[in-house]
Amino acid sequence: MLIRTHTAEETEALGRELARVRPDAGELAVIYLTGELGAGKTTFARGVLRALGVTTAVRSPTYTLLELYELGALTVLHIDLYRLRDAAELEPLGLREWARPGTLWLIEWPERGGGRLPSADLTLTFTVDAPAHDIALKPGSEAGNAWLARLDLAGRGGARAPVPSAP
């Protein structure tokens, strides 16, 4: 699925909509956010977090690597690995304890995790294409397929083009 956004508000709205249509909120869910600097990854994450009830400022955890949001039965990890020099730097964060049901991971720059991250249910690839941003959504699991099906049924987003399903 391909979605085109023209403003930060539209990118944030996509995040809100994906949060709203998440299948089985009691399961572990992982979203990889890839793309160049300034392409909208943190803006999208802000939309997800706002829809889930976060009212405080949402910034990229570029220097802290991790922001943790405990929202009742759901815990959200917003992870930014841009400044990671070595995947071994993930160990002190204690991420393994959060790979459990009732947790949503939003991971910016997941390619820097060197295989130490859980597999993605969804991978969103952000591309700047003036005057808009293209966001390709690709499922990585059956849960990801269900998630995109729900998003498609909701009829939200922008211009859409299908992407291949997960193997």
Number of domains in the chain: 1
Residue 56's pLDDT band (boundaries 50, 70, 90)?
confident
Whether residue 159 is contained in a domain is answered as no
> Which pLDDT score, from 0 to 100, does residue 159 have?
42
Whether residue 165 is contained in a domain is answered as no
Q: What is the mean pLDDT of residues 26-31?
A: 91
Q: What is the mean pLDDT of residues 30-44?
A: 93
> Which pLDDT score, from 0 to 100, does residue 156 have?
53
Whether residue 124 is contained in a domain is answered as yes
CATH number of the domain bearing residue 85: 3.40.50.300
Whether residue 25 is contained in a domain is answered as yes
Question: Global pTM?
Answer: 0.87
Whether residue 33 is contained in a domain is answered as yes
Domain holding 69, by residue range, is: 2-154
Whether residue 150 is contained in a domain is answered as yes
- Paired strand residues for 103: 75
Whether residue 161 is contained in a domain is answered as no
Whether residue 163 is contained in a domain is answered as no
> Which pLDDT score, from 0 to 100, does residue 162 have?
38
Q: pLDDT per residue over 115-165, tens digit each? A: 889 999 999 999 998 788 999 999 999 999 999 998 887 775 444 433 333
Q: What is the mean pLDDT of residues 28-33?
A: 95
Percent pLDDT > 70 in the chain is 92
Please list, in sequence order, all residues whose beta carbon lies within 8 angstroms of the beta carbon of residue 120, skipping any fewer than 6 positions away.
30, 31, 32, 107, 110, 140, 141, 144
Lookup: tokens for 105: 């991971």
Residue of 28, 44, 41, 5 lying closest to 147 (CA atoms): 28
Residue of 1, 6, 11 lying closest to 161 (CA atoms): 1
159 or 16, higher pLDDT: 16
